[in-house]
């Protein structure tokens, strides 16, 4: 299996050789979800802008969470607009810790694109090597890629409820303050799913790039994840959880994603909430 990430120098060499890699710029973050203005100001040559909110998610019923998975037909239409052709390699990147890029990697990979990778270090690593960028919009010729329905690698709210007790390890990959219930800037209730263990996805990075597979395996092991244990991950709205899935792929660990994540759980009546450092401390119903 090829690595799910690619270095700046390897990507530059592939582009210089004329390999038809489709580059996708997936700039998005919680405090600045619209990344197009920054994209227009400068991006990797030939990169096409991807709108995470509108193209990598389905914004419909809030009870499904803030970033539910997009339907196949709409995602396929978007991928064709990005210029992806059948069998074409794809490299995705962003400008902040590869979290948004991981969402694109996970969604496209689970939709049948065999060769999709994340640029390790993203735009900042590209600029650090003093490689060229271009400005303005890129409108490629429409691609002909055909995607499949995402039907593996994720769980729904009912299945995740019993995951930590009956199936394996459930990871909450948000920051520790949100896990403990000390802060919740976006969702109606603070805390975490009972039984979940906190492993912030940022620990898998060093200076904006992924740590070695051995280091990542050690971090997973500290959270109770071993080779014979099933593991699922959730975050605020299903974005950062895919970053943990990417880290897991680097380390040879299969991580199932709960796309609805805390944004769905905290809006669902009858679910319980835990607060504090313990996976099940101070459990209360919603």
| Domain parsing of the chain, residue ranges | 5-128, 157-285
Question: Which residue intervals of 84-189 are DSSP H helices?
Answer: 99-110, 122-128, 157-161, 176-180
Of 139, 214, 181, nearest in space to 281 by CA:
181
SS3 82: coil
User: What is the arrangement of strands in the sheet containing 90-93, beginning at the earlier edge strand?
Assistant: 5-6, 116-119, 90-93, 22-25, 48-49
- By CB atoms closer than 10 A (0-12, 13-18, 19+), residue 99 is buried
Residues of the chain with pLDDT under 70: 1, 280-286
Query: E strands of 48-89, at which residues?
Result: 48-49
pLDDT of residue 252: 95
Residue owning tokens 């303005």:
136
Q: Do 274 and 283 form a contact (C-beta atoms < 8 A)?
A: yes
DSSP letter at 228? T
- The whole-angstrom separation of Cα 77 and Cα 208 is 32
Which residue out of 235, 245, 250, 257 is catalytically annotated? 235
Query: CA 169 to CA 163: how far, in whole Å?
Result: 7
Q: Which fold has domain 5-128?
A: Oxidized Rhodanese; domain 1 (3.40.250)
Q: Is 41 exposed, middle or buried (0-12, 13-18, 19+ CB in 10 A)?
A: exposed
Using alpha carbons, select from 138, 140, 165 the residue that is nearest to residue 36: 138
The one-character DSSP state at 163 is I
Let me know if 21 is a catalytic residue. Answer: no
Q: Please check whether the two domains, 5-128 and 157-285, share a CATH topology.
A: yes
pTM (2 decimals)? 0.95
Tokens of 140: 């490629």
- 38 close to 106: Cβ distance less than 8 angstroms: no
Residue 117 exposure: Cα atoms within 13 Å on the Cβ side: 18
On the CB side of 26, how many CA atoms lie within 13 Å of its CA? 32
- What is the per-residue pLDDT for 226? 83
Per-residue pLDDT reduced to its tens digit, 129-185? 999 999 999 999 999 999 999 999 999 999 998 887 888 999 999 999 999 999 999
R_g (Cα) of the chain, nearest Å = 19
Class of domain 157-285: alpha beta
């Amino acid at each position: 299996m090829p690595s799910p990430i690619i270095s700046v120098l390897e990507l530059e060499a592939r582009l210089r050789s004329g390999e038809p890699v489709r580059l996708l710029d997936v700039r998005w973050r919680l405090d600045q979800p619209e990344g197009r203005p920054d994209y227009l100001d400068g991006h990797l040559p030939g990169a096409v802008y991807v709108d995470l909110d509108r193209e990598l998610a389905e914004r419909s019923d809030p009870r499904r969470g803030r970033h539910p998975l997009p339907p196949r037909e709409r995602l396929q239409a978007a991928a064709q607009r990005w210029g992806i052709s059948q069998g074409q390699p794809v490299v995705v990147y962003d400008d902040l810790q590869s979290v948004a890029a991981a969402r694109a990697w996970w969604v496209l990979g689970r939709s049948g694109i065999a060769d999709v990778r994340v640029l390790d270090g993203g735009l900042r690593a590209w600029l650090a090597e003093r490689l060229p960028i271009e400005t303005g919009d890129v409108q490629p010729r429409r691609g002909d890629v055909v995607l499949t329905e995402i039907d593996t690698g994720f769980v729904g709210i009912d299945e995740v409820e019993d995951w930590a007790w009956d199936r394996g390890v459930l990871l909450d990959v948000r920051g520790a303050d949100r896990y403990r219930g000390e802060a919740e800037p976006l969702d109606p209730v603070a805390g975490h799913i009972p039984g979940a263990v906190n492993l912030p996805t940022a620990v898998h990075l060093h200076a904006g790039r992924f740590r070695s597979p051995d280091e990542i395996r050690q971090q997973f092991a500290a959270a109770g994840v071993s080779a014979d244990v099933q593991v699922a991950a959730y975050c605020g709205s299903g974005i950062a959880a895919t970053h943990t899935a990417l880290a897991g792929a680097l380390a040879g660990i299969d991580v199932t994603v709960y796309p609805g994540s805390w944004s769905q759980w905290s809006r669902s009546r009858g679910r319980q909430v835990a607060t504090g450092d313990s996976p099940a401390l101070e459990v209360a119903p919603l």
